[in-house]
A and B are shown apart, each in its own frame.
Chain A
Amino acid sequence: MSASRVLVIARKEFTDVLRDRRTLFFMLLLPIVVIPVLMIVISDFMKAQLKERESRQLAFAIQPENRQLLRALANRWMHDNGLAFTALAARIGIEGFGGLDDLGRVAERMQTLKDAPDEGGLGDAAMLGWAHAWRELNADQRQMLADGGAVHRFLDQTRWVDFDDLPAAGRLPAGVRLPEQLPGRLAEPRAALAITGRDKAVHAALHVPAGGLEAWLSDDPALAVSLPITVLYDDSQSLSREAHGRFTDFVEALSHSEIRARLTAQRLSRDFVEPFRVVGANIATDSRSAQAILGGILPYLIILFCFFGAFYPSLDITAGEKERFTLETLLLAPISRVEIALGKFLVVFCAAVTAAVLTTVSLALTFTYGILPEGTAQAFDLNFEVPAVLLTASLLVPVAALFAAVLLTVALCARSFKEAQSYAAPLQFLIILPAMTALMPDLQTELKWAWVPLMNVSLLMRELLKGNYLWDFYAITLGSMFLLSAAALWVAGRVFRRESVLLRT
């Protein structure tokens, strides 16, 4: 065997393959262009959907007199909390707060500050100060600001519909049932019909018991009765769920305020009604939480695109060469079959590595500059330390070699490109499953998994990206993967020497 003859074959196959559009697409265009564009479009679409749902006006069916009561409750909240709330709003930069109708400004500012990353990124010096002030607030103060947002969202983005304006007749769709003993007009099927009907006339329906505020909100502890407000909604529809959530937040905001007022009236501290309190101290920064997700996606995509990169060239230079009647001429040249196999292997191997490396770089850049809000990139410090990158790269070598050898073997057994495709395509499923294991956050990287091909690579890449250097796991993974790819290459060499396979056309 001569290395120079192997290189002659490899050089020619490189030229040939690089002029093939399909190969270029899967090796270069897919990782460089398609992945970023697709991921940015999907993430923008999902963000837009979320925003659209949050800011959307929702329709509630309600009796007109109940509507007055809810408005009165909101006014009461503003009356009770106005002073404290105005002071809090000023701390996060909302000057001249104007009461119930001005809650939107506070809600918007809250959102900006909540979305801001752990450190830096906001640029604006004033904003930086408010973000700092916001972080300084205690849980109760934050709760009050959040309550303001809930009151605002419910009052501002709700359309009221009278029960009488809903269609009365019709059949409830399958899977819908009215619970027994629903109060008031909720017992009639018209509200449920309107929620589930095709035109979604309302998203939820409300029932508040009769009687004025005074009947319910007594200052006398002996007379206190909880006011039941029933909300009819459809959990299978996201907008109906959203309506239920918004209304619940609104009522909870009112409750918080009432509790504060009653405790003050009775000269009781909040601790009196809250004998226990769970203090959850989260030690993960946002970037760590993001790592847990990204660390799973990256290995999966890298392995998958490594396979895609090897796919077309391997088929093109084996089954494709048979189809074009060039293989026999090549077999007649004074070179050994093993040299042919190695030359071809080298090309497919390089294509697979190229695709995988480009995917990694492209994904890193896409997440950093495309998907995450500006400035948060630094917060997502996925471990791109040099040792982690080198170790990840070293894992790609046996993976690419395995894919190249297996695909070449399978494709060589086919008579035509099409036949090769139908043999090789199902291999994807064999790869996707173990590659996806990194996406399972609860699957621990135990040493026994180091013996499962591809799953070991997927899990180990996840750990490396998180900055965990598991040396024993690495040694087993690299060793077993190298043995496996060497075995696959040996099989490929055997198949390249079988005349019945080579001349099958």
Chain B
Amino acid sequence: MTAPADLVLARDLGKTYRGAKGTVTQAVAGISFSCRAGEVFGLLGPNGAGKTTALRMLSTVLAPTHGSASIAGHDVAREPGQVRAAIGFLSGNTGLYPRLTPREVLRYFGRLYGLDDARIAARTDELARLLDMTGFLDRRCDALSTGMKQKVNVARTVLHDPRVLILDEPTAGLDVLAARTIIEFVRRCRAQGKCVLFSTHIMAEVARLCDRLAIIHNGRLQFLGTLAEFRAHAGADEDLEQAFLRVLERAA
């Protein structure tokens, strides 16, 4: 049984793809880590390192080929329904239904998450005030700016008040203003005692947000520790980027 504080737990989690001609691709080669409530955990790595695959396995979109993982005490393979109900997922390129309004999008997902209509309406009002979306709640999504869309996405992610948030490069492709919405959102979640797991390769975000972090390269875990421990990899006059590169070099 998992300790209740560990909301995300990955044990030797791995994914291997078998190609048509017997080729074997190891996207994630057995990684283990855990994150607790009230903690922001960063998953770092260059493109193609296996970050998205790992997050997709944790969120039950992909089935692991070995190892196991659990979210809020539920195993991803055996109880995918409970796992999905416990997480809020957001990625940088998450889209919205262009022909629906934000209110309709929220109502749709609210119902899928099993909320009743009164609860959905209350949550919609609450999130609209919090994220400053009251002005465009009934406009079609295809008429919204990127920043507005990202706010709707954020609202959709936390609509069902999940205990765990999984964010896959949530600021990718966003401008400074829209990215700030996300950063503030992550801080607020931490303050509420949620567990936030997010992937990025922007060191500034890591420095501002992460309590602990892991670095993946070629599907393997190269570093796991606190932000302070990570900083220790860098020299006195070096920044986090140097620390990151040093971890990758050591892996090579």
Binding site for B on A (CB under 8 A): 5, 8-9, 12, 15-16, 19-20, 324-326, 328-336, 499, 502-503
Partner of A324, one of B95, B111, B113: B95
**3 closest A-B pairs by CB:** A325-B95, A333-B112, A19-B99
With contacts A5-B112, A15-B104 taken as known, whether A332 is within 8 angstroms of B95 at the C-beta atoms is no
Distance between Cα atoms of A197 and B71 in the complex (Å): 86
Q: Does B81 contact A (CB under 8 A)?
A: yes
Distance between Cα atoms of A326 and B152 in the complex (Å): 13
Report A-chain residues with C-beta under 8 Å of the C-beta of B91: 328
Q: Does B114 contact A (CB under 8 A)?
A: yes
Report B-chain residues with C-beta under 8 Å of the C-beta of A325: 93-95
With contacts A324-B98, A334-B113, A335-B112 taken as known, whether A329 is within 8 angstroms of B156 at the C-beta atoms is yes
Contact indicator A499/B89 (Cβ below 8 Å): no
Identify which of B55-63, B124-132, B216-224, B225-233 touches chain A: B55-63
With contacts A8-B112, A16-B99, A334-B82 taken as known, whether A503 is within 8 angstroms of B62 at the C-beta atoms is yes
Contact indicator B61/A503 (Cβ below 8 Å): yes
With contacts A5-B112, A325-B94, A329-B94 taken as known, whether A334 is within 8 angstroms of B84 at the C-beta atoms is yes
Contact indicator B156/A332 (Cβ below 8 Å): no
Report B-chain residues with C-beta under 8 Å of the C-beta of A5: 111-112
With contacts A333-B84, A334-B85 taken as known, whether A328 is within 8 angstroms of B94 at the C-beta atoms is yes
Distance between Cα atoms of A5 and B85 in the complex (Å): 14
Q: Does B100 contact A (CB under 8 A)?
A: yes
In angstroms, how far is the closest chain B Cβ from the Cβ of A449?
A: 40
Distance between Cα atoms of A331 and B95 in the complex (Å): 13
Contact indicator B61/A499 (Cβ below 8 Å): yes
Distance between Cα atoms of A502 and B60 in the complex (Å): 13
Report B-chain residues with C-beta under 8 Å of the C-beta of A329: 89, 94-95, 109, 156
Distance between Cα atoms of A336 and B100 in the complex (Å): 23
Report B-chain residues with C-beta under 8 Å of the C-beta of A332: 59-61, 84, 87, 89
Distance between Cα atoms of A167 and B96 in the complex (Å): 74
Q: Give the residue among B56, B59, B60, B112 with the most A Cβ atoms within 10 A.
A: B112
In angstroms, how far is the closest chain A Cβ from the Cβ of B165?
A: 12
Partner of B108, one of A8, A324, A336: A8
Contact indicator A334/B95 (Cβ below 8 Å): no
Distance between Cα atoms of A336 and B63 in the complex (Å): 14
Contact indicator B61/A8 (Cβ below 8 Å): no
CB-CB nearest in chain A for B157: A329
Distance between Cα atoms of A19 and B109 in the complex (Å): 19
Binding site for A on B (CB under 8 A): 56, 59-63, 81-82, 84-85, 87, 89, 91, 93-100, 104, 108-109, 111-114, 156
Contact indicator A333/B93 (Cβ below 8 Å): no
Distance between Cα atoms of A329 and B89 in the complex (Å): 7
Distance between Cα atoms of A9 and B108 in the complex (Å): 8
In angstroms, how far is the closest chain A Cβ from the Cβ of B61?
A: 5
Contact indicator B112/A334 (Cβ below 8 Å): yes
CB-CB nearest in chain B for A329: B94
In angstroms, how far is the closest chain A Cβ from the Cβ of B170?
A: 13
Distance between Cα atoms of A67 and B85 in the complex (Å): 97
Distance between Cα atoms of A15 and B104 in the complex (Å): 10
In angstroms, how far is the closest chain A Cβ from the Cβ of B153?
A: 8
Distance between Cα atoms of A502 and B65 in the complex (Å): 18
Partner of A326, one of B56, B63, B85, B97: B97
Distance between Cα atoms of A46 and B84 in the complex (Å): 63
Report A-chain residues with C-beta under 8 Å of the C-beta of B108: 8, 12
CB-CB nearest in chain A for B111: A8
Report B-chain residues with C-beta under 8 Å of the C-beta of A15: 99-100, 104
Contact indicator B87/A333 (Cβ below 8 Å): no
In angstroms, how far is the closest chain B Cβ from the Cβ of A315?
A: 15
| Apart from A16-B97, A19-B99, 14 more pairs, CB < 8 Å | A8-B111, A8-B112, A9-B112, A12-B104, A12-B108, A19-B100, A328-B94, A329-B89, A332-B60, A334-B84, A335-B81, A335-B112, A499-B61, A503-B56
CB-CB nearest in chain A for B63: A499
Q: Give the residue among A5, A16, A333, A335 with the most B Cβ atoms within 10 A.
A: A333
Report A-chain residues with C-beta under 8 Å of the C-beta of B111: 5, 8
Contact indicator B81/A334 (Cβ below 8 Å): yes
Report B-chain residues with C-beta under 8 Å of the C-beta of A324: 95-98
Distance between Cα atoms of A458 and B109 in the complex (Å): 42
Report A-chain residues with C-beta under 8 Å of the C-beta of B95: 324-326, 329
Distance between Cα atoms of A325 and B90 in the complex (Å): 11
Report B-chain residues with C-beta under 8 Å of the C-beta of A326: 94-97
Partner of B109, one of A333, A336, A499: A333
Q: Give the residue among A326, A499, A503 with the most B Cβ atoms within 10 A.
A: A326
Report B-chain residues with C-beta under 8 Å of the C-beta of A502: 61
Report A-chain residues with C-beta under 8 Å of the C-beta of B112: 5, 8-9, 330, 333-335
8 contacting pairs across A/B (C-beta < 8 A): A5-B112, A12-B100, A326-B97, A328-B89, A332-B60, A334-B85, A334-B113, A499-B63
In angstroms, how far is the closest chain A Cβ from the Cβ of B234?
A: 35
In angstroms, how far is the closest chain A Cβ from the Cβ of B30?
A: 19
Report A-chain residues with C-beta under 8 Å of the C-beta of B96: 324, 326
Report A-chain residues with C-beta under 8 Å of the C-beta of B63: 499
In angstroms, how far is the closest chain A Cβ from the Cβ of B229?
A: 32
In angstroms, how far is the closest chain A Cβ from the Cβ of B226?
A: 29
In angstroms, how far is the closest chain A Cβ from the Cβ of B9?
A: 19
Contact indicator A328/B61 (Cβ below 8 Å): yes
Report A-chain residues with C-beta under 8 Å of the C-beta of B87: 332
In angstroms, how far is the closest chain B Cβ from the Cβ of A457?
A: 33
In angstroms, how far is the closest chain B Cβ from the Cβ of A503?
A: 7
CB-CB nearest in chain B for A340: B112
Report A-chain residues with C-beta under 8 Å of the C-beta of B113: 333-334
Distance between Cα atoms of A135 and B33 in the complex (Å): 97
CB-CB nearest in chain A for B156: A329
Distance between Cα atoms of A325 and B92 in the complex (Å): 10
